Amino acid sequence: MNLNNKAVLEKANAAITEGDHEGFLSFCTEDTEWAFVGDKTLHGKEAVRQYMAKEYLEPPNFMVEHLIAEGDFVTAIGKIRMKNKDGETVVYAYCDVWRFRDGKMAELKAFVIETESK
C-alpha cells in the first residue's frame, strides 16, 4: 500500500479513534520520537505503546480542522476530546507536526493546550 503522508496520518488517527493502538503503531517507525512541547519526550515505539495504554483509557476523538502537507511533514491542527484519569471529558486544542520517513511517522512535535473540561 503506497499512501501519501496525509493519508497515512488519516488512517493512523482512524485506528486510534477505534482504540486500535497496534494499528496506529504500525504506521510509526521503530525509533519514532514524540515531543510534547513543555512536557515530555517519548523515545521509540514501545514508549509510545506504554503512553497510549496509560493515557488513552478510552479512544480519543480527533476533530481535525486543518491538515497541511509539505515534503516529509504533515501538520494537523484541531481539537481532541478524551477522558482523563478521573473520567472527566477534557477538550484540548492541538497542533501536531509530524515528520515522515519512508512512508511512516518518525517524529512528532505536539503543542497541546487544555481548553475545557466537563
Q: Are 98 and 107 in contact (CB under 8 A)?
A: yes
pTM: 0.90
Q: Are 112 and 90 in contact (CB under 8 A)?
A: no
pLDDT in tens, 3-12: 699 999 999 9
Strands (E), the chain: 28-36, 41-43, 61-70, 73-83, 89-101, 104-117
Q: What is the pLDDT along the chain (118 residues), one digit of tens a residue?
A: 446 999 999 999 999 999 999 999 999 999 999 999 999 999 999 999 999 998 888 899 989 999 999 999 999 999 999 988 888 899 999 999 999 999 999 999 999 999 976 6
Residue 17 phi/psi, 5-degree rounding, is -65, -30
